[in-house]
Structure 1
Amino acid sequence: MLISLLQLHLLAGQDAVRAGYWFPGSEFPVSDIDSTLFTHLFCAFADLDPETNQVVVASSNQAQFSTFTQTVQQKNPSVKTLLSIGGGSNTIFHGLDLDWEYPSSATEMTNLGLLLNEWRAAIDNESTSTGNSSLLLAAAFFRSSDYYTIDYPIQAIANSLDWINVMAYDFYGPLWSNLTGPPAALYNPGNDQVSGSYGVSTWIQAGVTANKIVLGLPFYGYAWQLADANNHGFFAPSVGAALSSDGSAGYGQIEDFISENNATTVYNSTVVSNYCYSGTTWIGFDDTQSISAKVSYAKENGLLGYFAWHVAADDDWVLSQTASDTWGA
């Protein structure tokens, strides 16, 4: 299925962003999304045809993608939808989201800037020629304004995008850390540069205004196998992943683990992260306390809002409801 910009229209101006991603690999029905808890929903992922440079949706996803907006608006007619591009149609979305993980050279960063400028020009031209409201343009970026010292094209980002989704997670995981750690710490006194607050500050200092920044919330965590069951705090030695090949586990799975194993749970307000442990299994994640604190941080610091990856990992909408309630009307 090929989609042109002309097929992706509609939009009113956006206020705060309370968003979540959905993707078909989660095997979570679109009709089960409680869209009343969100202002924006991302449908992930479409690809680019390398020969035509058109947006293309895999045939296996066509049915769900083509009815995504209609389906989620049944519960919330005002929710806006964006087609996320990364990883004959009448498909209508309210915007586009770019998920390039990650431009890893100066040349790729330059090309990213060119792409964003061209997208903005095309969208403005389309709006002028059709009379339709302009599409939303968003992009998911690294936790800080440089990708391991390679700077993002800030001017193009500031000029072209309605907002950026800052992926303030995946800081620690068992495949790249032999110590347990907070996967999405808001603060990190031991290593401040590996924290959500530091990442947000770099974007602001680089020139992206706070009201164009949306903070990422992970609805999942990572599980480690402890080297010593009696050493079970942050930064305890581990011997690899637990629960899955890479240690990742959705919030619902983590809640099941806690219940089934009578696991001890801890909230660290200094770091703003939760963890639990039972025997040699240790899991770092965000529970309701962390989610509430992060949303409060976003609101108090003038950010545009928050987004969650991903909605299917929630447990009966507990985290989504917490985030929505904390942000308020």
Structure 2
Amino acid sequence: MKKGIFVPALLLITTVILSFNSCSKDTQENKKGDDKDTMIDNITDNIKETDITLTPTQKPNLDPLVNELVTKPESQDKGPRSLAYFTSWSSYDRALAVKDIDPNLLTHINFAFANLTEDGEVIIGDEEHDLNKDFGTELGGKDEDRYGHMGQFKQLKEKYPHIKVLISIGGWSWSHNFSDVAADPVKRDRFAASAAEFIAKYGLDGIDIDWEYPVEGGDNIMHRVNDNDNYEMLLKATRKALNEQGTEDGKTYLLTICARATGRFILDANLIDSMQYLDFINLMTYDFHGPWERMTGFHTALYDQNKGALTIDSSVTIYSKYINPADINLGLAFYGRGWTNVGDTTDNGVKQTAQSISGIGYGLGTWEAGVFDAWDIVDNYVGKNGYVGYYDEMAQSPYVFDGITWIGYDDEQSIKVKTEYAMEKGLGGVFFWEFGGDRNLVLQKVIAETLGLETAQ
């Protein structure tokens, strides 16, 4: 991930459906994997009738960790969870800082991103802003903690002890080394040890792994057919290191991951087995549509008239069959996706042919072509400059259209509906990508109130 650039995460679905998301984005078509007894070829088939039949996979046999018993401590996070991703590049053009966060609206913050080296060492992603930039002492705390995001999070946690802050490792731009590191027991152990040392050094509460993506890769991302087994071993090694660090520090550390919305990821991460090491997962239920398609579409649709479409509901349905719903956070997007030169005004431009938006300049909250911060859409598009606002009841998503440019996004109403959906399905909570898209905290307040967070009362 490059500083100052928003790169939302990618989702992929096998052969028929393409979609995109991060706890970061991808333009590479999903490659259909080798034949496996456990292959999920189509998420729709799985939702309708097919169970995943899991067969034992061959584990690496040269690593003593294979036969070692590693368990996670009893989780102290019983939910509901409201988790924010806060990015290191938010302090560049967006001019946001940790002091702009209202911890009363949150339970967790994932700071994105730390990087990992070819040798597996977890390192600071942006030394200038993560360690050196003077953000002042508005949060209070020690004077030395005025420097960098790391220092600011220390100040935040001292003032709001309920908040859990995790470091997210990888993301769309920094996932290249995961496959090699996970495949090598020595590098894997180095990753685990350095991750534990990282959070102990900076006073954080856990590790979030955003590997995009095991088995199928991303844009020029190294990947292997046995990434699934290696991913499980990486998580096991990391859990072991966190347990040992926690014993030394007298703390219990969290281990979480970002998960693609497609059911295929359950296999690509050996997720059913891997859950024994994880506290919860962040399910990236967004970027179902985007500029890789030449048709407008709701990228965070709750439902779709096409029963084979990838939606929030289809993703939650398949995941909930194999993962305890309480261990799942539903992903919400604080940004919209747009197209221009819409070919037909029928249905107010919904599901009509269109072109991707090339070039930036559509608004103050636009940091990537065709991507618009949620606050920017509300402030500068809805009911302004010829844009008319609409709401799709099936998708439970608002959109604006001026006859040429179409933008689908989420607002207070749709965020409330989707948060209520998460609670109705017994999920552990929600997370959102990312804080900068809701700089006025409007959507975060809706989430906190809907979840009934005590801190939001």
Partner residue of 2:357?
Answer: 241
Quote how far apart the aligned CAs of 1:86 are.
1.0
Question: How far 1:152 moved relative to its partner?
Answer: 2.9
Q: CA 1:69–1:53 in 2, change beyond 3 Å: closer, same or farther?
A: same
Asked if residue 208 in structure 1 is aligned to residue 323 in structure 2, the reply is: yes
Q: Secondary structure at the match of 2:436?
A: helix
Matched, 1:168 2:285: yes
Matched position secondary structure for 1:164 = strand
Measured in 2, the distance between the counterparts of 1:217 and 1:227 equals 26
Change (3 A) 1:52 1:275: closer
Matched, 1:123 2:242: yes
**Counterpart code for 1:185:** A
AA aligned to 1:62 is L
Deviation at 1:55, TM superposition (A): 3.7
- CA pair 48-192 structure 1, distance change in 2 beyond 3 A: same
Is 1:22 matched with 2:86?
yes
> CA 1:52/1:159 → structure 2, altered by over 3 Å: closer, same or farther?
closer
Deviations 1:230-284 (A, max 9, x none): 3333201112226365301111121122254252111222212111112311101
2:260 counterpart residue number:
142
Equivalent residue, structure 1, for 2:131? 62
Q: Tell me what 1:82 maps to.
A: 166
Counting only pairs closer than 5 Å after superposition, residues 2-41 of structure 1 correspond to structure 2 as: 13-16=76-79, 17-27=81-91, 28-41=96-109
- Quote how far apart the aligned CAs of 1:150 are: 5.5
> CA-to-partner distance for each residue in 1:263-312, whole Å, 9 max, x for gaps?
21112222121111123111011111111011001111110000010011
CA contact (8 A) 1:180 1:224 kept: yes
AA matched with 2:107: T
Aligned CA-pair RMSD: 2.3
Residue of structure 2 in register with 1:319 after alignment = 443
Rounded to whole Å, the distance in 2 between the matches of 1:151 and 1:57 is 26
Cα 1:208–1:150 shift into 2, 3 Å = closer
How far 1:192 sits from its partner (Å)? 3.8
CA distance change for structure 1 residues 144 and 240 in 2, over 3 Å: closer, same or farther? closer
Output the CA distance in 1 between the equivalents of 2:386 and 2:442.
20
Which residue identity is paired with 1:97? Answer: D
Letter in 2 for 1:77: P
Q: Which runs of 5+ in 1 are unaligned?
A: 1-10
Structure 2 CA distance for aligned equivalents of residues 193 and 146 of structure 1: 15
Q: Greater shift after overlay, 282-291 or 138-147?
A: 138-147
User: Aligned partners of 1:227, 1:91: CA distance in 2, in Å?
Assistant: 49
Q: 1:74 to 1:126 in 2, by over 3 A?
A: closer
Give the % identical residues.
Answer: 29
Classify the secondary structure of the residue corresponding to 2:381: helix
Question: 2:308 matched to 1:184?
Answer: no
Q: Which has the higher strand share?
A: 1
| Contact kept in structure 1, 2:169 and 2:209, CA below 8 Å | yes
8 Å Cα contact 1:117-1:156 kept in structure 2 = no
Query: How big is the shift at 1:52?
Result: 5.0
Distance 1:283 1:98 in 2: 31
The whole-number CA distance in structure 1 between the counterparts of 2:156 and 2:236 is: 30
2:256–2:280 Cα contact (<8 Å) kept: yes
Q: Structure 2 regions of 5+ residues with no counterpart?
A: 1-73, 133-147, 172-196, 217-223
Structure 1 residue 139, shift from structure 2 partner: 0.5
CA distance in 2, matches of 1:74, 1:317: 22
Q: SS at 2:83's partner residue?
A: strand
8 Å CA contact retained: 1:226, 1:236: no
TM-score, with length taken from structure 1? 0.88
For residues 219-298 of structure 1, the aligned pairs below 5 Å read 219-228=334-343, 230-231=345-346, 232-241=348-357, 243=362, 246-255=369-378, 256-298=380-422
Whole-Å separation in 2 of the counterparts to 1:75 and 1:321: 20
- Give the 3-state SS of the residue equivalent to 2:398 in structure 1: strand
Aligned mates of 1:257, 1:265 — CA distance in 2 = 8
Q: How many corresponding residue pairs?
A: 315
Checking the alignment, whether the CA contact within 8 Å between 1:116 and 1:156 is kept in structure 2 is no
CA–CA separation in structure 1 for the residues paired with 2:89 and 2:119: 26
- Mapped to 2, the partners of 1:76 and 1:189 lie a distance apart of 44
- In structure 2, do the counterparts of structure 1 residues 309 and 75 end up closer, same or farther at CA, with 3 Å as the change threshold? farther
Structure 1: distance between partners of 2:156 and 2:75: 17
Task: Return the alpha-carbon distance in structure 2 between the equivalents of residues 160 and 58 of structure 1.
Answer: 29
Q: 1:94 aligns with which of 197, 202, 205?
A: 205
Measured against aligned partners, the alpha-carbon deviations of 1:189-237 in whole angstroms (never above 9, x if no partner) come to 21444111111122222x2100100000000011110334633332011
Structure 2 Cα separation of the partners of residues 132 and 109 of structure 1: 32
Find the counterpart in structure 2 of residue 112 from structure 1: 231
Offset, 1:157 = 2.5
Give the residue type in structure 2 aligned to 1:114: M
Q: Which amino acid in the other structure matches residue 246 of structure 2?
A: S
**Quick one: distance in 1 between partners of 2:256 and 2:353?**
39
**SS of residue matched to 2:251:** coil
User: CA offsets, 1:158-205, max 9 Å, x none?
Assistant: 1110000000000011x2111100011111221444111111122222
Decide whether aligned partners of structure 1 residues 24 and 126 sit closer, same or farther in structure 2, where only a CA change above 3 A counts. Answer: closer
